[in-house]
Amino acid sequence: MIKSLDRNLNKLYKISGFIAAFFLVLVAVFILIGISSRIFGFYIRGLAEYSGYCMAAASFFALSYTFVEGGHIRITLFLEKLSGFKKKLNEIWCLSMASFFSGYLAFYFIKMLIISYKFQERSEGADEILIWIPQTSVAIGSTIFFISVFHQFILTIKRNK
């Protein structure tokens, strides 16, 4: 069961990475449409806001994939000087702090999403989109990031080295 959960979580992180890539493609598309619209003399409202929302979504969906693949800046320079029990203890401490702060971040974004949904807040841009719509991707991405950090924390505790 643990192996199956581990495999499914790793699939979730890869899917999250693909979603981040999709949002990056949307950023490029919106930028190209904005450039084309200026060249051909027409205006499409909200393109700058939409590309910003997609950039935020891409950033937060990429967090978990990047973390699992080892792309985040880590404290490896410090940890590689340690060995044995001291190294494992420091890794556990660092991952517990990262779990706490990423969990708080996810909690805060979910809370912000709920408040924006309750009050039906709108963006201040030209399109006045309901702000909870782009906040949903940030909340989901930060939650998946918390899961990935906590998953790594559990794996580190279980590791025998």
Q: What is the pLDDT of residues 99-141, one digit of tens each?
A: 999 999 999 999 999 999 999 998 887 778 899 999 999 999 9
Cα separation, 143 vs 102, in Å, equals: 8
Model pLDDT for residues 26-77, shown as the tens digit of each residue: 999 999 998 898 888 888 888 888 899 999 999 999 999 999 888 777 666 7
pLDDT at 2: 78
Is the distance from CB of 57 to CB of 17 less than 8 angstroms? no
Please give the pLDDT value at position 13. Answer: 95
Residue 126: the pLDDT is: 72
The stretch 72-97 carries a mean pLDDT of 80
**Does pLDDT of 150 surpass 90?**
yes
* Alpha carbon distance 18, 157 (integer Å): 29
pTM of model > 0.75: yes
pLDDT computed for residue 117 by the predictor: 95
- Which of 137, 133, 145, 3 lies closest to 72, judged by CA? 145
Residue count (the chain): 161
User: Residue 85 — very low, low, confident or very high, per pLDDT cuts 50/70/90?
Assistant: confident
pLDDT at 3: 84
Give rounded-to-5 percent helix, strand, coil for the chain.
80, 0, 20
CA distance 145 to 110: 13
Compute the CA torsion angle 104, 94, 91, 78 (nearest 10 deg): 150
Structure confidence at residue 161 (pLDDT)? 59
Residue 37 has, within 13 A of its CA and on its CB side, a CA count of 13
Round to whole Å and give the CA distance between 46 and 118. Answer: 23
**What local confidence, expressed as pLDDT, does residue 47 receive?**
85
* 57, containing H or E segment: helix 47-68
Domain range for 72 is: 2-158
CB atoms within 10 A of CB 138: 21
Number of folded domains that form the chain? 1
Higher-scoring residue by pLDDT: 146, 161: 146
Q: What are phi and psi of 130, to 5 degrees?
A: -65, 125
Neighbours of 23 (CB within 10 A): 22
